[in-house]
């Protein structure tokens, strides 16, 4: 039977979405039970259809196939991997095999205190049974703890991924968590894992996708590339029974006998959604280009409840790179030197420049009630010749000090201010009317003087730079110096700070708020089932990864906090989908 015979009771959101032709919109289609079942046809079928071929989706697919389910992976891009393939490939997992092997206890009660305290600072209550969280929110973080380590063991046992303790690649250092100084964090080092290369070293994101992709191939799991999801297919009982994807302008109907697992990206590359759901301005995104939030209208049409839509994995981005492409190659994860500070348009420091990128970027979204503006909307990373040369190549510092078009310079602070002002004027059609304060250079001078005092004393009384282990340890990755005769090692009492030179040239890079990806979307429960607005699971519909409302909300537990959650909830989804009854079509 041809696709044209397939009978679809169309809904409003489906106008134009006839079977066999390209679906013009995203949504959900109810297949009417009143049509003879024999009239329908499916282009593909499987027990479980996984939408999205990144970390969450590939984990779900290998777990599902390992459970004996037939699986199809549907991927929008022309190659698999999603944002994972652009990443360092680290995944943050509590209480895993490598910690256990080293005799490090990562107890459930302690770990959940850290997760809950960091994710819900406004609700955390130490002596509450759910630590102050709603039972649903607590259950999600508990599921992460309970399943993360088991997920790792399972993908290893399946031969889908070889996993090792991640020690910052060649640095061979244990990475501190991103809120390592939380009193609740009793195991603040060593939770990140990574994929092991054949040579025994840690790989990065493509290695996860490569190994898992090989495993999927060996298990004969099809990965349909260039098949963007268009519509969920539902039966009259409101159960998810498949997915309609688009392929080269044709609708492709894929039956999911047991379940559809959404494991796609967020909406980081959808500027319209960013404007509607996120505060202030998000200039750029590290996420893969396909992260355009397609699941939001699709799942909404199926009745899904949305959550954490204002949430994101945040990072600063180099303004001009983001303006050019929106999707950027990397975030500006840390100000990459020691004789470097960041100021706002008033010339004032407002944050510890070595704080982790997720929390640090929040500073851009602070609103000043008196001026009715975002005073830190853009920040200016200011540094001297030492940082330009000795730290060259620590992105965003270019490998040759002034060779990047986004690096501004001036012989004096006044000259630097003039260069920044000129650049802001050039960019005004794109960024609006952001001007340096008239006394910017003078206030910047004061800020540098105070910073230099702090560098000499080792203590930053304003923002505590270098006070926490995070600041110091991550400096080795994000701000590694090239020591030379001209630029000796930092011999100051606090290696994160070195006085700026009293003499120019001085440099500046303009940074704005960005995201790795957003992490809001359909709300799931601890079984990774997508919920409707009454908190009832939509039968046969699961979610994991950046496309769903993150269990961590705004918190980034440590390196790989993104992928660790994605893989774990992919695993949870696949295991629960395995027990789903076969749906009537």
Site for a second copy in 345-384 (CB under 8 A): 351-352, 355-356, 359-360, 362-363, 366-367, 369-370, 372-374, 377
Asked if 11 interacts with a second copy (CB under 8 A), we say: yes
**Residue 230 in contact with residue 49, Cβ under 8 Å?**
no
Asked if 438 interacts with a second copy (CB under 8 A), we say: no
* Among candidate residues 561, 569, 523, 568, the one with its CA nearest the CA of residue 544: 569
The alpha carbon of 517 is separated from its chain's Cα centroid by a whole number of angstroms, namely: 4
- Where in 172-201 is the site for a second copy (CB under 8 A)? 179, 182
Among 222, 238, 445, 504, binds a second copy (CB under 8 A): 238
Asked if 522 interacts with a second copy (CB under 8 A), we say: no
> What is the token pair recorded at 19?
């079977």
Nearest to a second copy of 202, 302 (CB atom) = 302
Q: Which stretch binds a second copy (CB under 8 A): 208-216, 218-226, 410-418, 532-540?
A: 532-540
> What is the token pair recorded at 102?
């080293």
Helix H or strand E encompassing 150: helix 135-157
- Where in 95-134 is the site for a second copy (CB under 8 A)? 118, 121-126, 128, 132, 134
Asked if 523 interacts with a second copy (CB under 8 A), we say: yes
Helices (H), 261-369: 271-277, 295-301, 319-325, 357-361
User: What is the C-alpha radius of gyration for the chain, rounded to an integer number of angstroms?
Assistant: 25
Asked if 141 interacts with a second copy (CB under 8 A), we say: no
- Where in 298-327 is the site for a second copy (CB under 8 A)? 300-303, 305-310
CB of 67 to a second copy, least distance (A): 27
Give the span between the Cα atoms of 109 and 142, in whole angstroms. 10
Asked if 156 interacts with a second copy (CB under 8 A), we say: no
CB of 231 to a second copy, least distance (A): 12
Helices (H), 326-398: 357-361, 385-390
Asked if 12 interacts with a second copy (CB under 8 A), we say: yes
Give the span between the Cα atoms of 566 and 237, in whole angstroms. 29
- Where in 439-478 is the site for a second copy (CB under 8 A)? 463-464, 468
Number of helices followed by number of strands (H, E) in the chain: 14, 20
> What is the token pair recorded at 319?
């303004």
Asked if 555 interacts with a second copy (CB under 8 A), we say: yes
Asked if 15 interacts with a second copy (CB under 8 A), we say: yes
- Per rule CB under 8 A, count of chain residues that contact a second copy: 77
Asked if 35 interacts with a second copy (CB under 8 A), we say: no
Pairing of strands 521-522, 163-165: unpaired
CB of 264 to a second copy, least distance (A): 16
CB neighbour burial string for 309-318, b if at least 16 within 10 angstroms, e if fewer:
bebbbbbbbb
Among 19, 30, 60, 72, binds a second copy (CB under 8 A): 30
* Cα angle 317-320-325, degrees, rounded to a multiple of 5: 85
Overall residue count recorded for the chain in this entry: 585
Nearest to a second copy of 59, 292 (CB atom) = 292
Nearest to a second copy of 61, 309 (CB atom) = 309
Asked if 584 interacts with a second copy (CB under 8 A), we say: no
* Among candidate residues 435, 427, 334, the one with its CA nearest the CA of residue 377: 435
CB of 205 to a second copy, least distance (A): 26
CB of 544 to a second copy, least distance (A): 18
Asked if 292 interacts with a second copy (CB under 8 A), we say: no
Asked if 26 interacts with a second copy (CB under 8 A), we say: yes
């Amino acid at each position: 039977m041809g696709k044209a015979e397939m009978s679809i009771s169309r809904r409003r959101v489906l106008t134009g979405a006839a079977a066999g032709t390209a679906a013009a919109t995203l949504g959900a289609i109810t297949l009417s039970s009143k049509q003879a079942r024999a009239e329908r046809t499916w282009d593909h079928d499987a027990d479980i259809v996984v939408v999205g071929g990144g970390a969450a989706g590939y984990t779900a697919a290998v777990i599902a196939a390992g459970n004996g389910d037939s699986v199809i992976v549907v991927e929008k891009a022309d190659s698999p991997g999603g944002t994972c393939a652009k990443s360092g490939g680290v995944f943050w997992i509590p209480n895993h095999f490598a910690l256990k092997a080293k005799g490090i206890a990562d107890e459930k009660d302690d770990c959940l205190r850290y997760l809950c305290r960091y994710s819900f600072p406004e609700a955390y209550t130490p002596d509450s049974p759910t630590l102050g969280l709603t039972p649903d929110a607590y259950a999600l973080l508990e599921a992460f703890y309970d399943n993360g380590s088991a997920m790792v063991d399972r993908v290893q046992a399946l031969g889908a991924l070889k996993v090792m303790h991640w020690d910052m690649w060649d640095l061979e250092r244990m990475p501190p968590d991103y809120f390592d100084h939380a009193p609740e964090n009793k195991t603040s080092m060593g939770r990140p894992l990574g994929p092991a290369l054949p040579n025994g070293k840690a790989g990065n994101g493509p290695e996860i996708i490569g190994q898992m992709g090989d495993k999927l191939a060996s298990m004969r799991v099809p990965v349909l590339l260039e098949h963007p999801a268009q519509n969920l297919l539902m039966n009259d009982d409101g159960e998810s029974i498949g997915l309609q994807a688009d392929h080269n302008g044709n609708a492709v109907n894929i039956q999911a006998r047991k379940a559809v697992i959404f494991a796609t990206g967020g909406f980081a590359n959808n500027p319209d959604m960013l404007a509607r759901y996120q505060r202030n301005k998000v200039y750029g995104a590290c996420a893969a280009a396909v992260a355009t939030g397609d699941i939001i209208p699709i799942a909404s049409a199926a009745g899904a409840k949305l959550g954490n839509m204002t949430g994101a994995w945040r990072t600063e981005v180099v303004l001009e790179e983001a303006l050019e492409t929106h999707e950027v190659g990397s975030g500006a994860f840390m100000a990459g030197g020691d004789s470097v500070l960041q100021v706002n348009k008033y010339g004032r420091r407002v944050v510890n420049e070595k704080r982790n990128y997720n929390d640090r970027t929040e500073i851009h979204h602070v609103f000043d009630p008196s001026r009715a503006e975002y005073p830190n909307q853009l920040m200016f990373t200011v540094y001297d010749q030492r940082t330009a040369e000795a730290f060259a190549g620590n992105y965003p510092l270019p490998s040759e000090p002034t060779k990047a078009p986004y690096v501004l310079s001036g012989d004096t602070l006044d000259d630097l201010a003039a260069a920044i002002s000129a650049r802001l004027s050039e960019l005004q059609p794109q960024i609006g009317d952001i001007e340096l304060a008239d006394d910017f250079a003078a206030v910047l001078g004061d800020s540098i003087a105070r910073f230099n005092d702090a560098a000499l004393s080792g203590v930053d009384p304003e923002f505590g730079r270098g006070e926490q282990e995070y600041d110091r340890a991550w400096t080795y990755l994000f701000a590694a110096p090239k020591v030379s005769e001209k630029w000796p090692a930092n011999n100051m009492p606090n290696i994160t700070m070195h006085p700026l030179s009293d003499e120019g040239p001085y440099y500046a890079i303009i940074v704005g708020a960005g995201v790795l990806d957003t992490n809001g979307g359909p709300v799931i429960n601890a079984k990774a089932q997508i919920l409707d607005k009454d908190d009832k699971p939509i039968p046969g519909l699961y979610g994991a990864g950046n496309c769903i409302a993150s269990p961590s909300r705004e918190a980034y537990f440590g390196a790989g906090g993104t992928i660790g959650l994605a893989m774990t909830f992919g695993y949870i989804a696949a295991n629960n989908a395995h027990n789903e009854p076969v749906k009537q079509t």
